[in-house]
Structures are given as structure tokens and as C-alpha cells.
Amino acid sequence: MLDRLQAQSPDALLALIKLYAADPRPDKVDLGVGVYRTGQGDTPVFAAIKAAERKLVDEQDSKAYLGPEGDMGFVEALMPYIFGAEDPSMGGRVQGMQTPGGTGAVRLAVALARAAGIRRVFMGTPSWPNHAQILADLPLDMVAFDHDNDDGTANVDAVLAAIANAQEGDAILLHGCCHNPTGIDYTPEQWDAIAAALATSKALPIIDVAYQGLGHGMEEDAYGLRKVLASVPEALIAYSCDKNFGLYRDRVGAFYVMAKEPGQLDAIMSNAASLARANWSMPPDHGGAAVRLILTDPALTTMWLDELDTMRARMRQVRDRLAAAGTAGAVDMTPLGIQNGLFSMLPLSKEQIATLRSEHAIYMAGSGRINVAGLTSGNIDKFIDAVAAVSA
């Protein structure tokens, strides 16, 4: 039976990691992997996480199962940061559970939407590649619309048209902030228009929040999500702590439901728990427990937020430097200055990207996506000059 299986194409990003690792050139630059890096090129463990882990070692007295819902203290501690401190439960209409990373949260959100009768999902493209893979695997039909314009701004007309065309049984998948892969976010005014359109639409919003705090701040990056939730009767939210707590390999995420009425949550969450049980049974606990300890200890919370501020400021400095370069060959770098988060996309061909790799030791995704955190004061001028050389 197993000999019937056809070989699948290797993941392009994983292949890029191997190529980078095998390159002996000392000045090589990795702009592919989606992790934060310091100005020295490191991806350190947060000091706040280290402190929380020490507390776990000293205080945790069991590794027994927690159940498919995971660490509910972690889930509840996150809610004020996501939904707002005044009423994080939105009048008792919001409930959540822990998931294996943001990927698990997206998977669970889409699976629950399917179980509830959703058959089509509208999604702006380009998007995180795994979004489309999850939709295809379940399977659900994807209806694509253009996320961005040629000038590096968000195509709000396209998302509004998608919302207007949505019917009963449709959902719309939106990035909450720091769009992956483009870095192009909706402005507050555009979020206002999106929320107003969703208020009269039959579409179910599914909002993926994977980078809160890496754009303009924890509160600022939650604006779009909160505006939508204030305008619609129900929604599904996928959340990741992998980036804003630096817990990439620990896979720390959460899934939330906002229901029409508080009394509906028990039935909804019982379905979510059943789906989770069939997929991963129980989520990993260690990273979620560390986040819970941080968010319930004021000193650790302050330490974490300070570290997040430092990350955000460094990425903003990189973006400002790229924008200040203006045009590098045929590539206009100025839009990168108003984009957010780890990623942006450059209008380079696959051949130009291959030349960057072979002649300049610069590694980036074949789509043109770069991780701006891979740029430092020591390599950013080399990068700008190389882009100019291959695109002239």
C-alpha cells in the first residue's frame, strides 16, 4: 500500500535552510527563516522566559495531563492583551483553549468553522503558505483576493469586495497585524471600513494574530481585531506566542471563540475540544506555562514588554534604513518603512533571487519575502548594494 504514495516536493524554506547551512562563505546573510534576530544575528531566549522557566523547575509539581484545553491559566492570562483589559471576555462571549502554536490554532479555527457549515474561505493573497495548505487539507474551497497594491499599500477595495460577495457558509481569513509575508497592514481607517462591512455581512471572520507587539505595540496591533469583534456577532481567533515570546520550538498558541450569546459557548467549545482531541490530544504545556507565569507576575510582565519593545525598535530601525536607501536598482525600498513586523516582499524574479544567493551569499525565499530581522548594521549595506546589482 505505501508504495502508492508519490514523493512530495520538499518545503522550499526548509531547503533554503540547508543551503544556507552548507554555504562556507563567512559573509553569508540569512533572510529566509522567520525568527527574530538581534543586531549580532542571534535568536536568544527572552530573559523573562528564562526567569519563568526557573520558577517552573522550582515550583511545578506534576507533568500529568491537562486535557485538550491545555493550561487555562495561560489562555485566560492572554485575554486582556488580545481583547482589552476592560472586559477581555466581551461580556462572557469569549472562551478559548491552548493549541500547539499558531498553526494549531489556525487549524482548529478552520476545522471548527467547517464543522459549523463553512464551505468557502475568502483569503487575501499572498498569504502565509500554510493557510492555503490547511484549507486544502480539510478540505475547504479558497476564494482569493489581492491583499496588496503595486505601491506597497493594502488593497482595501479588494477585501471590501470579498466581504460584499460573501454568502451564508462563507468565512474570511484576515491577518490581525504584521502581515506575513508582505508586512503590509490595514490602517486603522481601513480596519474601520472592514469592520463596518463585516457588520452587515454573512461572512464569519477568522482572524490570525501571530505577531502582536512586533508592529507598533501590543495595544496598537490589536486595533483591527478589536474593531472587528465590536462589530460582528461571532468570530474565531487564532493566536501565536511563538514570536512575541520567542518560543518558536515550544509551539505556544491559543484559539478563541466569540459567540453570539454566552450560553452558546459550552456547545461550541465541546466541539473544539473534540477536534483538538482527534488532532493532537493534548497541547504541549511547558511554553504555555512559562507565558502564564510571565503574565501573572508584574515584574516578569514588565521585563517581557521591555524585551518586546527592544525587538520592535530594532526592526523599525532596519526598515527606516531600507526606506532611506530609496531605490536600489529597479527596487523601490521606501514602502518597507511603513510596513510592519518581520517580513516584507521585494519585487525580484526567481532568477534575481538565485543570483543574490550564488553571487552575494544572500538567502531569501523564492517569493521575494525577506525577514528584515536578518539585516544588521554589518550587512545591510551589502544587501542594498546586492539588490541594486541584480535588479539594475
Residue 164's pLDDT is 97
Residue 14's pLDDT is 80
- Report how far Cα 196 is from the mean position of its chain's Cα atoms: 24
Helices (H), the chain: 12-22, 47-59, 72-83, 101-115, 129-137, 156-165, 188-199, 218-221, 223-229, 265-279, 286-295, 298-324, 350-360, 380-391
Residue 78's pLDDT is 98
Q: At 179, phi and psi to the nearest 5?
A: -50, 135
Task: Report domain extents, the chain.
Answer: 7-45+300-391, 67-296
Residue 322 grid coordinates = 531600507
Residue 118's pLDDT is 98
Residue 33's pLDDT is 86
DSSP one-letter string for 262-287 = GGGHHHHHHHHHHHHHHHTSS---HH
Residue among 30, 71, 185, 208 flagged as catalytic? 208
Nearest alpha carbon to residue 147 among 110, 109, 169, 173:
173
Task: Tell me the per-residue pLDDT of 56-85, one tens digit each, with 9 for 90 and over.
Answer: 999 999 999 999 999 999 999 999 999 999
- Report how far Cα 215 is from the mean position of its chain's Cα atoms: 11
Question: Is 128 noted as a catalytic residue in this protein?
Answer: yes
- Between CA 364 and CA 353 the distance in angstroms is 7
Nearest alpha carbon to residue 51 among 275, 302, 276, 236:
302
Residue among 30, 148, 191, 243 flagged as catalytic? 243
The C-alpha angle 256, 260, 266, rounded to 5 degrees, equals 60
Residue 8's pLDDT is 84
7-45+300-391 CATH choice from 3.90.1150.10, 3.40.50.2020, 1.10.3720.10, 3.40.605.10: 3.90.1150.10
For β-strands 369-371 and 343-345, DSSP reports them as: antiparallel
Residue 33 grid coordinates = 527563516
Task: Tell me the per-residue pLDDT of 317-336, one tens digit each, with 9 for 90 and over.
Answer: 999 999 999 999 999 999 99
Q: 67-296 has which CATH code?
A: 3.40.640.10
Residue among 30, 71, 128, 227 flagged as catalytic? 128
| Nearby residues of 258 by Cβ (< 8 Å), 6 or more positions away | 90, 93, 94, 229, 232, 234, 235, 236, 237
- Between CA 103 and CA 126 the distance in angstroms is 17
Decide: helix, strand or coil at residue 38.
Answer: coil
Residue 11's pLDDT is 78
Residue 392's pLDDT is 86
Asked whether the bond before 88 is cis by omega within 30 degrees of 0, the reply is: no
Question: Is 304 noted as a catalytic residue in this protein?
Answer: no
Could you identify the residue written with the cell 510596513?
339
Question: Is 148 noted as a catalytic residue in this protein?
Answer: no
Residue 230 grid coordinates = 465590536
Contact between 46 and 307 under an 8 Å Cβ cutoff? The reply is yes
Regions of the chain with pLDDT less than 70: none
Decide: helix, strand or coil at residue 348.
Answer: coil
Residue 13's pLDDT is 79
